[in-house]
Structure 1
Amino acid sequence: MHSDAANFQLNSHLTTLASIHKIHHTLHRLNLTEDVGQDSHPSGNTAAACCSRAMPPRKKRRPSAGDDMSAKKSRQDSVYRKHETSQIREEETFSSKRCLEWFYEYAGCDDVVGPEGMEKFCEDIGVEPENVVMLVLAWKLDAQSMGYFTLQEWLRGMGSLQCDSTERLRNSLDYLRSVLNDSTSFKLIYRYAFDFARQSKYKVINKDQWCNVLEFSRTINLDLSNYDEDGAWPVLLDEFVEWYKERQMS
């Protein structure tokens, strides 16, 4: 007999298996990329034809006070535009300082974002903690502990994503989800998930079983209609299928 804690942990893993199975069958249907067509531009031949005409010579005249004011205003506008462009480029460029300040919004006085900070972080970016995109983000940051991001992991990972603010990360969520569409990345993330999750106090699944789950998700239909109970699947997956069918009937 399992203890209550072990049963709870097993149920949690079974729920995760259900999510993984469903995710695997739906990810390939996602199409998060868009084809952006090239803008068409006018050829400008008409303007060239107009400019090719010879213009009559103009008489020189002495600049008036109004001309001086216009020239001065034009120079001021030019300086302002250069300053404005510089500010825009600065905002578009990744800032380590801004990324560091962003980290401490969630870490407080520590050098690690813990569970409380992580909860606020997920709320700010509009993602549930159990959402698969958080696993992809943890993989990108190469986080070593579930529910924690260290300062070094944050700066290195967010730097690779070029995200130094909540808004930028929100804009990158579709990209993070699309990473799962790549079979190589999916396999790497899946393997990372095992090491990431095995820190749990209750070890109810080993690495061989974890790999079997991936094979199970690739070969078994979403409704489990082609699952062979007499096959060579591990007992854990037999328990999962039994649990899943009972859940569907209730």
Structure 2
Amino acid sequence: MNELTKFMKNSASQIKDPESFKEFYNFSFDYAKPLRTTGLDLLTAIAYWKIIFVKNQRVDKWISFLEKEEKRGVTKDEWKIFLDFLNTVKEDFSNYDPEDAWPVRIDDFVDFCKESC
């Protein structure tokens, strides 16, 4: 696992192009996902987010939220949309529209942050 962590950190930091990073990010889900499953267990998803997004406060808040509020795994859709959320929604959530097609988990995260962050 240490070798994978080193590889992932190095790869993520070298990918500067947003589209290439998105491809890398989406690939990491498929790489981490066990065969014959449709999602990642929560601990695996958290481990990968920590590796991919080193020292990212927004991701750290997301992980804290998941550790406190959720016990279920992460779907591929949630994985992909979380990156879109990071790339489009401002840190203060001023441009967040709950009427957009965000997964409920992200809506709950925004509510969590507005109440406790």
Shorter-chain TM-score bucket reads 0.5 to 0.7
Counterpart position of 1:210: 79
CA contact 1:179–1:185 (8 Å) conserved in 2: no
Identity of aligned residues (%): 35
Matched residues in 1 for 2:82 and 2:113: separation?
14
Say whether residues 1:180 and 2:49 are aligned partners.
Answer: no
Does the aligned pair in 2 maintain the 1:194–1:210 contact within 8 Å? yes
Is 1:228–2:97 an aligned residue pair? yes
The residue number in structure 2 matching 1:191 is 26
With over 3 angstroms needed to count, the CA separation of the structure-2 counterparts of 1:239 and 1:198, relative to structure 1, is farther
Counterpart Cα distance in 1 of 2:92 and 2:86:
11
Unaligned runs of 5+ in 2: 35-39, 43-71
Residue aligned with 1:184, SS: helix
What are the ranges of 5 or more consecutive residues in structure 1 without an aligned counterpart?
A: 1-113, 122-128, 140-172
Distance of aligned partners of 1:226 and 1:237 in 2 relative to their CA distance in 1, 3 Å threshold? same
Checking the alignment, whether the CA contact within 8 Å between 1:220 and 1:226 is kept in structure 2 is yes
1:41-120 aligned within 5 A: 118=2
Regions of 4+ moved over 6 Å: none
- 1:185-243 deviations in whole A, cap 9, x for unaligned? 20122102322444454552211222221222222112211111222211011011122
**Contact 1:212–1:233 (8 Å) recurs in 2:** yes
Letter in structure 2 aligned against 1:233: W
Q: Equivalent residue for 1:245?
A: 114
- TM-score between the two structures when normalised by the length of structure 1: 0.28
Question: 2:98, 2:32 → 1: CA distance?
Answer: 27
Q: Given residue 247 of structure 1, which amino acid in structure 2 is its aligned partner? A: S
